[in-house]
Amino acid sequence: MSIHPSAIIDEQATIADDVTIGPYVVIEGPVKIGAGTTIKATAVITGHTTIGENCEIFPHAVIGGEPQDMRYEGEESYVVVGDDCIIREGVTIHRGTGEGTTTSIGDRCFLMSNAHVGHNCVVGDDCLLISGCLLGGHVTVGERAVISGNTALHQFVRIGKMAMLGGVAAVVQDVPPYAMTNHDGHVVSINVVGLKRAGFNAEERSEIKEAYRLMYRESLPLGQVVAMLTQNPCSEVLQPLVDFLEGSNRGIVKGTVRKRRAA
């Protein structure tokens, strides 16, 4: 273990033997730090927060702070960060509102500078949160999703697995799995590059494209789309999409309208 003499470490904290803690770090409360993690100068980790193994936490990150929520009354709540995460400068991750609730970050996530994860959020494995993005309370982000810079997600919004959200946008409704959105927060296409990188073959990508054609080009009611997708046993790649659509409370984001070419 390497701890700089200027660091302030609460006696309640549990720190693995090979953790590295830099200058002026503050660890306050019953924090748990996993093996191989590095915490760089001036980072603050507080409350009932658990950091996994082999994480890297950069200066001025604040993890486990009280939620920015008028309903919070000092109840015991948690933050859990998975293994192999990178948390860059100025990132804030707030603990849950409500007794026993948790804000969680999955494994292998990369949170770039000044990203904010609000109370009660759940971020899946392998997600990328780009600089300045803002997750309101109770947001759920599926695995391998990408939230681009300075994009804000409304409370209770859900982002499906492998969705890619355009930058400088306001997202106020659910974004389905595999979708790509623009600067208005509207679906423009499927995330073809992401699907290829994840190993989806041409047939699987075609299935997903057809499902999105029904949703966004045929202007069919959502219930009818779900019925059409489930007429036969759902394929492995479409099941996450069907489950997501059936579980939407805020509604699904709009698609862009194709402009007609001039005659």
pLDDT at residue 232 in the model:
78
pLDDT at residue 221 in the model:
86
Q: 126 in helix, strand or coil?
A: coil
pLDDT at residue 263 in the model:
38
- Amino acid making up residue 206: S
Q: Give yes or no for a contact between 59 and 40, defined as CB atoms under 8 angstroms apart.
A: yes
pLDDT at residue 257 in the model:
54
In 3D space, the residue among 155, 175, 158, 156 whose CA is nearest the CA of residue 166 turns out to be 175
In 3D space, the residue among 119, 118, 113, 157 whose CA is nearest the CA of residue 131 turns out to be 113
What are the structure tokens assigned to 44, written together? 């603050």
Kindly report the length of the chain.
Answer: 263
Q: 65 in helix, strand or coil?
A: strand
What are the structure tokens assigned to 4, written together? 């700089």
Q: What are phi and psi of 21, to 5 degrees?
A: -125, 120
pLDDT at residue 261 in the model:
43
Q: 209 in helix, strand or coil?
A: helix
| Structural class in CATH, domain 2-138 | mainly beta
* Domain regions of the chain by residue span: 2-138, 198-246
* C-alpha 95: how far from chain center: 15
Q: What is the block-wise mean pLDDT of the chain (263 residues), using blocks of 10 residues? A: 96 97 98 98 98 98 98 98 98 98 98 98 98 98 98 98 97 97 95 95 95 88 89 88 93 74 41
Longest dimension (CA), the chain: 75
User: How many of the other CB atoms lie within 10 Å of CB of 174?
Assistant: 22
CA distance 154 to 171: 6
pTM of the model: 0.95
Cα distances (angstroms) measured from residue 119 to each of 57, 65, 71, 146, 220: 19, 9, 11, 19, 35
Give me the helices (H) in 145-255, please: 192-197, 202-216, 222-229, 239-246
